[in-house]
Amino acid sequence: MLLISENKISLFLFIQNNILINLFNLFILLIFICYGNTNIPQTVLANENAKRLFDDLMMSYNRHRRPAIYPNEAINVYLRLRLSQIIDVHELDQIMTISVWLKQEWFDRKLSWKPSEYGGVSVLYVPYEMIWVPDIVLINNAEGFYNITINTKATLHSDGRVVWEPPAIFKSLCQIDIQWFPFDEQNCHLKFASWSFPTNLLHLTLVNESSTDVKVIGNYGQEEVETIVEDGIDLSDYYPSVEWDIMGTQVIKIFKLDNWTLKNKYVKKGIRIKLMTRKSRN
């Protein structure tokens, strides 16, 4: 009987000791949360605000509808090409392969909010497939797949501005002049436009404003205006090719003049980017 009583007492003391230790640890944790490092709770709070903002924005959002208030309202999409590398220029197949970032920027009023209502959150990153994005494609693509961009996130700003800059590898048809090859310059064009929307509903705009307007005669004798931006491609992250030298870049946007007033300009085509290259003589 004495042995049983001693075992009970030992078990009671063991349980009591564990309870006291757990209470002490809980007390220390509460002190740490209240008076210690406050970065953790602030981070949790910021994440909760971002989650609440995301849920509110997506609650009644339809990614299949253009972000326009009126049916005939045009969406302005600002386009900028950032060249990473000239991967290959195949002379026989007349195909140029390049690695780029295609920056696109537009406004979506349905994706705007007041930062003061969400703990000061002014920028939100969301998967691009969850929002409306312009279906800009390379028209003169040499492959059967037009949309070859990699899944990335779009940046939402509180004023409704959306910025999406997906990386891509484009293979474009490039007519190679072999008369003085390889010592002549090759002009390779990349033609971008919306796949499904007409130009009066989706309007491509050049990011660089230092442009020059030149009047030309189109293929069918009509008067057109070409808006030309010299050095229109961003080469800040360009990795030089050991085989090809870049001699110049141009971004060209073509307008058709109104036959009635000859003043108003209408977009006839998308944006054409001309990349002038020459075989390296190293």
Q: Is the model more confident about 79 or about 217?
A: 79
pLDDT at res. 248: 79
Question: Two tokens at 101?
Answer: 């970032």
Q: Is the model more confident about 24 or about 52?
A: 52
Confidence of residue 123 (pLDDT cuts 50, 70, 90): very high
For the ranges 47-51, 191-195, 243-247, 278-282, the lowest mean pLDDT is seen at 278-282
| 168-188 tens-digit pLDDT | 888 888 877 766 666 667 778
pLDDT at res. 10: 56
Question: Two tokens at 81?
Answer: 């090409």
Contact 149, 133 (CB under 8 A): no
Whether residue 21 is predicted with pLDDT greater than 50 in this model: the reply is yes
CA dihedral 52, 54, 59, 62 (to 10 degrees): 170
Which amino acid makes up residue 149?
Answer: T
pLDDT at res. 16: 56
Percentage of residues of the chain with pLDDT beyond 70? 60
**pTM recorded for the entire structure:** 0.73
CATH superfamily of 75-279: Neurotransmitter-gated ion-channel ligand-binding domain (2.70.170.10)
CA 202 to chain centre: 17
Whether residue 145 is predicted with pLDDT greater than 90 in this model: the reply is no
Backbone region of residue 120 per phi and psi (left: phi > 0; alpha: psi in -120 to 50; beta: other values): left
Q: Is the model more confident about 151 or about 193?
A: 193
pLDDT at res. 276: 66
Average pLDDT over the chain, rounded to an integer: 76
Pairing label, strands 75-90, 202-206 = parallel
